[in-house]
Chain A
Amino acid sequence: MPDIREQETIARKLLPIIYVLDTSGSMAGDRIAAVNTAMSETMEVLKDVSNNNPTAELKIGVLQFASGAKWITSNGFVYMDDFYWNDLKAGGLTDLGSALDELQSKLSRSAFLNSDVGYKVPVIIFMSDGGPTDDYEKALKKINETNKWFRASTKIAIAVGDEANVDVLQKIVGNQEAVIRVDDLESLKKLIRVVSVTASMIGSRSRTDSNSTGDIMDGVKGQMGDDIQTVDTSTTVPDTGDDPGNTPDDSDDPWGNADWD
């Protein structure tokens, strides 16, 4: 008699956490050092989160952008056990459009998300201290129009310092998502850890839960307190159809046709 009680087939879903990190020249020095320290420390914490999470196992992707964009995890997302942080070096431009093109190319079932039902919707964490130096709008328009993984993903952006282009980050993460502004390096380090852990815990919940970005933001704000400033995107980003960077995110627009769980 076949044993239909056997649970061999039931497995934890995979939750990709993707870091899109600005390593342009303006990040050189203390900023990139802070990011390197934070990433290394954060990964140790995430190992525990992943091991103790009954519903999802974390996989990590790291994409750096400066003059062009490059996946640090070039073979695909890596399991926490295989993560090893080699310090990033800063230098070059801020080719955010190239980073979006890379996301466009790898966020698909024929690339990094090579499983029909095994992956949860990714969490993407952007971090930048400047403004784009390439045609990011074209890349954003394309990825919003054609990549459903990107559209459905939970997107959070960290704007570092006064020079960070918050408007652009808002457009990338979408109207209903959030941009967090941080000024000092200690807060940046803490924020990377807090956003990562909070997003990985909330992002791994079952799909019976909705609006994970709001919950993540609530969790981050609760832990960071006055160390960060959040920007209400819904009031600062005009919702104009002409703006290629402002394509509405179906997953949060209830009045489309592809929006319900």
Chain B
Amino acid sequence: MYKMIYATTQGSDHIKHGILCEDSGLVLESEECRIFAVADGHGDSNCPRSQFGSNAACRIAAGEMEAFCTEIHDHEWEAKLLSEDRDTERLVRQLVTSIAAKWIKTVREDLETSPLTDEEKAGCTRYLERYDRGERLEHIYGTTLIAALMTDSYLLLIQQGDGRCVVFDSNGAVSQPIPWDDRCFANVTTSMCDEDVIQSFRYCVIDLKQNSIAACLAGSDGVEDSFPSMDMMHVYYRNLLLYASENGAEALNDHLAETLPEFSRKGSGDDVTICGIIDPESIAGCKPAFERDNTIVRQESRLHDLRERLTSMNGMGKLEALKKRFEEASETAEEKERLLQEATRKLEEYHDDLQQMEQDEADGLEKLLIWNRLIDSIFPGNRKAALEKKVDELKERQELAEQQAEQSQEEMAHAEAEYREYLAKQEDLEKEIEAAQAELDGLREEDGNAP
């Protein structure tokens, strides 16, 4: 039994900057079908009514899809829709044409009824002139759109712009079946307001009789932007689905409502909307596969990060540079130590001389006293005072050499610590990578997916 999932939250950055929540979401259930729509209004002050635009896109898509479902059913066109040939293209293109046309009509009517206010115009710095000329006014309401229509026999998915739509089949395998538009990239996306909106709508139709699914979830770009990789986003979605299988869809909706604000704050900062159609019973059957896949993806992600770190460590030759700096500091320290020893030796020599002189004088050696007096009479000045002065001078030199030796030792110790720390970090990282790779190999082997 399929259940509907819907949660949306204003982005933490939107709250911080006083920007409205421009995401919209909608779920609809009837006897014949289940529908959801997710739209993300452009976060650009030149699109001041993107909130209206995203809301209108969801409402219109849901209404048109419901009518489409009835028409397909009444005309018994399911086989045509699932034919994967021109009939599919024709039918879906009619649907998206109808959605785009009604959306453009709706936003233009809104603008006619409520022209841009001065405040809104103030934000339209780059495009105001064109708006004033009446050109491309639907840009004021720019938004993306992902929508899904599910019946007993098919799942139709359509998309304009970014955001991601993820399908988990009944075996737990994950895919993003709507073709991607490479023009959607970073902060760039195609839009409901584009001139080629109809042609650039992407879609896919899944035959549910052939390929049953456990869940289909769509998220605005605020979801994917919160993860380092698409695989890690899938881990998050699997966890959501497991939560629903254990606690029910309603509990998941409550839980999302509670946790998405924090999700946005810690992640993209953007508005976040998640809608979906899920089958908790089928998901329960996927539990082993989900848990296994999550474990493997986490490990792969960890390994990827570790390898990135190691590549970065080797990227600028920092280790070699630190080693060189340490070696140079060692040489300097050795030289300073040599100079210190020399200064100390010299000081000691003179000091010994002085002591000897003092001793001799104290001993009163007659001959020496005569000799000293003779020397002093030839070379005026006090010989002892000169010797004492020399000792003081050498002492100063020795102290300076000692300071320099200490300083160079400190510098060497610092350079050594820096080098050894970085070396140890690199060696630890290499060991960690080896262990992580072995762990991953083990997991893959368990899974029977060893490369």
Residues of A within 8 A of B (CB): 1-5, 7-11, 13, 55, 59, 72-79, 81-86, 115-118, 120-121, 148-149, 152, 205-211, 250-251, 254-255, 257-261
Contacts of A11 in B (CB 8 A): 227-228, 232
A249 to chain B, nearest CB (A): 10
Query: Considering the chains assembled together, what is the distance between the CA atoms of A7 and B261 in angstroms?
Result: 13
Asked whether, in the complex, the Cβ of A260 is within 8 Å of the Cβ of B44, the reply is yes
Question: How near does chain A come to B58, taking the closest CB pair, in angstroms?
Answer: 17
- Pick 13 A–B contacts, CB within 8 A, sort by A: A7-B266, A9-B236, A10-B227, A73-B316, A77-B315, A78-B316, A82-B315, A84-B322, A85-B316, A148-B186, A148-B188, A260-B161, A261-B188
Instruction: Find chain B residues with CB under 8 A from A74 CB.
Output: 315
Is B404's beta carbon under 8 Å from chain A?
no
B312 interface neighbour in A13, A72, A82, Cβ under 8 Å: A82
Q: Which B-chain residue is minimally distant from A59 (CB atoms)?
A: B312
Q: Please state if A120 and B183 are interface contacts (CB–CB under 8 Å).
A: no
* Closest A residue to B181 using CB positions: A258
Would you give the 0/1 interface string for B7-23, flagging 1 where the beta carbon is closer than 8 Å to chain A? 00001011001010000
Q: Is the CB of B187 within 8 A of A210?
A: yes
Q: Tell me which of B73-81, B87-95, B189-197, B201-209 binds A.
A: B189-197
* Partner of A255 from B136, B221, B308 at Cβ < 8 Å: B136
Segment from B238-246, B343-351, B407-415 that makes contact with A: B238-246
> A84 with B317: in contact, given A9-B232, A59-B312 (CB under 8 Å)?
yes
A189–B259 alpha-carbon span in the complex (Å): 46
Is B225 positioned at the interface, with any CB of A under 8 Å from its CB?
yes
- Is there contact, CB below 8 Å, between B228 and A118? yes
The reply on B389 being an interface residue by CB < 8 A is no
A1 nearest CB neighbor, chain B only: B246
Count residues of chain B with CB under 8 A from any CB of chain A: 74
Measured in the bound complex, the distance between the Cα atoms of B19 and A209 in whole Å is 10
A47 → chain B, closest Cβ, in Å?
13
> B193, A260: Cβ atoms under 8 Å?
yes
The residue on A at minimum CB distance from B136 is A255
Q: Does B255 belong to the interface (CB within 8 Å)? A: yes
Q: Which residues in chain B, 217-247, are within 8 Å of chain A measured between CB atoms?
A: 221, 224-230, 232-233, 235-236, 239-240, 242-243, 246-247
Give chain A residues whose Cβ lies under 8 Å from the Cβ of B321: 84, 86
Please tell me if B309 contacts chain A, counting CB pairs below 8 Å.
Answer: yes
The distance in angstroms between the C-alpha atoms of A5 and B240, with both chains bound, is 10
Contact check, B318 vs A207: say whether CB atoms are below 8 A apart.
no
B45 interfacial contact with A, CB 8 Å: yes
Assess A10 versus B243: contact at CB under 8 Å? Given A72-B316, A258-B190, A261-B43: no
- Which chain A positions have C-beta within 8 A of B42? 260-261
Residues of B within 8 A of A (CB): 11, 13-14, 17, 19, 42-47, 126-127, 130, 136, 139, 142, 161, 182-191, 193-196, 200, 221, 224-230, 232-233, 235-236, 239-240, 242-243, 246-247, 255, 259, 262-263, 266-271, 298, 308-309, 311-318, 321-322
Given A10-B263, A260-B42, decide whether A4 and B255 contact each other with a Cβ distance below 8 A. Answer: yes
Residue of A whose beta carbon sits closest to that of B12: A206
In angstroms, Cα B185 to Cα A83, docked, is: 29
In the complex, the answer to whether A75 meets B225 with C-beta atoms within 8 Å is: no
Contact of A208 among B255, B262, B270, B317 (CB under 8 A): B270
Query: Lowest 3 A-B CB distances belong to which pairs?
Result: A258-B183, A84-B318, A208-B43
Residue of A nearest to B287 (CB): A2
Instruction: Tell me if A261 and B229 are in contact (CB < 8 A).
Output: no
Residues of B within 8 A of A118 (CB): 228-229
Complex Cα distance, B46 from A239, in Å, reads 23
| A86 to B185 CA separation, bound complex (whole angstroms) | 35
State in angstroms the CA–CA spacing of A259 and B44 once bound together. Answer: 10
Residues of the B chain whose Cβ atoms lie less than 8 Å from the Cβ of A3:
239
* Docked pose: A152 CA to B184 CA in angstroms: 11
Contact B313 A82 (CB under 8 A): yes
Extra A-B contacts (17), CB below 8 Å, given A84-B322, A208-B17, A211-B126: A1-B243, A4-B239, A7-B263, A9-B227, A9-B228, A10-B263, A11-B227, A73-B315, A117-B224, A121-B186, A208-B11, A208-B270, A209-B43, A210-B43, A255-B130, A257-B190, A260-B188
